[in-house]
């Protein structure tokens, strides 16, 4: 099929990956394909994305995915200078070693060939100051045009390339949509690099000095440690006069926090202590006589078995909590809830130090993260709720804590919901799919895969009934990464339904820290940090 066969290409455009499809017809009409992808030998790296049926960007392009013969995910099975163009769309942000990836793609280009890289824009797609991504947990980095160019300059030898095209594509982007909702329209950066003949004098250009690149004020990691970031420690003094403690739990979990509450008062006897707790725990909190102020806030229903939460979206909860605190400033804020579903409220607190359970990777706004052994991950009996916000859908509606199919739709053999790309240890699990039919009961297909679909752990169909839960058994023979639960339509119409997520349960005899002990450990960690306070930032690496 020739690039001049416009009718055939218009049909082809309907089969490419979802993100590539957004710009396909624009590239076809404005001459982009003719200028940069008209060569006979073109590679499309990672062309499938999350859609197994996707085709490469153009009919004559070779699609390279993890199942391509001889490809190990890093080294391309093609000789140096053998390709006219290398195309990648929404791939680079998933790769830890971006330098190695760019260097490998550049290696197979001939002189005069083009490296076309498309990545999501930080302030169009992510719309967050820093990772993690709200929409794809596998995104390793956020990009602006400047940071993409910086990575290209880091990876490729000076004077070996030229930037021929750079665009922040917001074609059809809806700027009225708030950051807590998924973006609509195009939201990407498109960069075209041409490989040129490196002049003879280029090798002498930096003799006796370090080449200046966009981020030369940082240590340039060696190739052997490009995937290992490094921490920079900066001292910062703090006088703890006011402390906000969050314990938005149910009655039993709240009662187990007494030791931690008493420790906080002992460590900061002169501080003004403020406790935010569920309204049902207010009287018990006041009776402790440890807090100067108690703020009732219902993030969860009083009865954990009730499905109706006080807030329909996380944004509503953030807004209400921010209104409760007003313009108050605290020297320290702690979230003592063992589960991580209240941690996002700390981001709204005006405090230089924030502490809670979890990791900096998951909660970058925590100054004092305590990543203790989580029983649900390490093997002991516990239940995990994988809420709908952790899942993805390209065709259904994201509505707060649910993904909704609002009306009957014919979507033959389509992935309706997929995610959350998590890791689990080997073992036997029970998975409850929380799906509520909005009309009659129906049957829906599912599968559980890992490592981007290279292995299937379970597959079949489940009955969606008024009980709102369908259970399967999941056997994981060995530790697995990138686990994905997918709902798949059949050949019949899909009736309206609401997907609320999955409940994951596992039985085991291993013993982790009790919640009471974990809260005491967090308070102890905060005490030690505040004795000689400092701020640490993660820099470098990928």
Task: Tell me the per-residue pLDDT of 157-182, one tens digit each, with 9 for 90 and over.
Answer: 889 999 999 999 999 999 999 988 99
| Local structure of 300: helix, strand or coil | coil
The CA-based angle 405-409-410, given to 5 degrees, is: 135
- Cα separation, 450 vs 418, whole angstroms: 12
Domain 6-222 has CATH 1.10.10.60: no
Dihedral of the CA atoms 317, 323, 326, 328 (nearest 10)?
A: -20
Closest of 318, 364, 347 to residue 141, by C-alpha: 364
Of 24-28, 170-174, 294-298, 476-480, the one with minimum mean pLDDT is: 476-480
CB 461 within 8 A of CB 390: no
What pLDDT is attached to residue 399? 81
CATH 3.40.50.150-classified regions of the chain: 6-222
Question: CATH 2.60.120.260 in the chain, residues?
Answer: 378-506
Residue 535 pLDDT > 80: no
Q: How far apart are CA 63 and CA 58, in angstroms?
A: 9
Query: pLDDT-derived band of residue 219, with 50, 70 and 90 as boundaries?
Result: very low
Specify the DSSP class assigned to residue 190. Answer: E
What is residue 479's predicted lDDT score, i.e. its pLDDT?
83
pLDDT in tens, 30-86: 999 999 999 999 999 999 887 888 999 999 999 999 889 999 888 999 999 999 999
Secondary structure (3-state) at 473:
strand
Q: Tell me if 221 sits within 8 A of 541, measured CB to CB.
A: yes
**317-341 residue pLDDT tens:** 999 999 999 999 999 999 999 888 8
On whether the CB atoms of residues 515 and 460 are closer than 8 A, the answer is no
Residue 225 has pLDDT above 60, yes or no: no
Asked which of 103-112, 227-236, 365-374 is least confident by mean pLDDT, the reply is 227-236
Give CA–CA dist 148/214, Å, rounded: 10
CA 524 to chain centre: 30
Res 18: pLDDT: 84
Superfamily of domain 242-372+515-539: Glycogen Phosphorylase B; (3.40.50.2000)
Mean pLDDT of 360-387: 71
Band of pLDDT at residue 371, cut at 50, 70 and 90:
confident
Whole-number pLDDT of residue 220:
41
- CATH 3.40.50.2000 residue spans of the chain: 242-372+515-539
CATH number for the region 378-506 comes to 2.60.120.260
Report the distance separating Cα 361 and Cα 247, nearest Å.
23
The answer to which of 134-143, 168-177, 253-262, 361-370 has the lowest mean pLDDT is 361-370
| Arithmetic mean of pLDDT over the chain | 85
């Amino acid at each position: 099929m020739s690039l001049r066969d416009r009718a055939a290409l218009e049909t082809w455009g309907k089969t490419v990956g979802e993100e590539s499809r957004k710009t396909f017809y624009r590239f076809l009409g404005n001459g982009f394909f003719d200028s940069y992808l008209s060569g006979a030998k073109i590679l499309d790296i990672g062309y499938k994305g999350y859609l197994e049926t996707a085709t490469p960007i153009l009919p004559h392009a070779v699609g390279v995915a993890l199942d391509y013969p001889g490809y190990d995910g890093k080294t391309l099975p093609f000789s140096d200078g053998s390709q006219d163009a290398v195309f990648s769309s929404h791939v680079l942000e998933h790769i830890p070693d971006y330098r190695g990836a760019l260097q490998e793609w550049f290696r197979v280009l001939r002189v005069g060939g083009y490296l076309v890289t498309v990545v999501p824009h930080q302030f169009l797609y992510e719309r967050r100051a820093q990772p993690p991504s709200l929409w794809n947990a596998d995104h390793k980095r956020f990009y602006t045009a400047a940071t993409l160019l910086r990575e290209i300059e880091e990876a490729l030898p000076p004077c070996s390339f030229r930037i021929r095209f750079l665009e922040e594509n917001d074609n059809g982007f809806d700027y009225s949509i708030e950051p807590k909702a998924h973006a609509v329209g195009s939201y990407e950066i498109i960069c075209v690099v041409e490989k040129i003949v490196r002049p003879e004098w280029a090798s002498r250009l930096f003799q006796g000095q370090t080449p200046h690149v966009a981020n030369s004020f940082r240590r340039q990691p060696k190739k052997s440690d490009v995937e290992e970031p490094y921490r920079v420690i900066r001292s910062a003094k703090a006088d703890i006069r006011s402390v906000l403690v969050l314990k938005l739990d149910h009655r039993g979990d709240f009662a187990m926090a007494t030791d931690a509450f008493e420790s906080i008062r002992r460590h900061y006897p002169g501080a003004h202590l403020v406790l935010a707790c569920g309204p049902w725990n207010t009287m018990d909190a006041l009776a402790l006589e440890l807090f100067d102020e108690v703020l009732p806030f219902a993030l969860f229903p009083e009865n954990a078995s009730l499905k109706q939460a006080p807030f329909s979206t996380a944004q509503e909860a953030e807004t209400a909590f921010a209104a409760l605190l007003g313009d108050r400033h605290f020297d320290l804020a702690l979230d003592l809830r063992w589960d991580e579903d209240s941690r996002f409220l700390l981001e709204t607190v005006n405090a230089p130090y924030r502490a809670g359970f979890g990791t900096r990777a998951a909660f970058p706004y925590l100054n004092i993260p305590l990543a203790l052994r989580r029983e649900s991950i390490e093997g002991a009996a516990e239940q995990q709720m994988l809420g709908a916000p952790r899942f993805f859908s390209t065709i259904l509606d994201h509505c707060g804590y649910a993904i909704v199919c609002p009306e009957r739709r014919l979507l033959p053999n389509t992935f309706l919901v997929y995610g959350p790309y998590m890791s689990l240890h080997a073992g036997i699990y029970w998975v409850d799919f929380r799906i509520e039919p909005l009309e009659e009961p129906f049957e829906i297909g599912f599968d559980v895969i890992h490592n981007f679909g290279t292995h299937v752990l379970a597959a079949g169909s489940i009955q969606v009934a008024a009980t709102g839960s369908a259970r399967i058994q999941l056997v994981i023979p060995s530790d697995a990464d990138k686990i994905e639960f997918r709902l798949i339509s059949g050949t019949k119409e899909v009736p309206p339904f609401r997907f609320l997520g999955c409940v994951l349960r596992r039985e085991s005899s291993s013993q982790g820290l009790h919640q009471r002990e974990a809260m005491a450990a967090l308070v102890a960690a905060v005490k030690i940090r505040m004795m000689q306070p400092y701020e640490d930032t993660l820099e470098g690496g990928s």
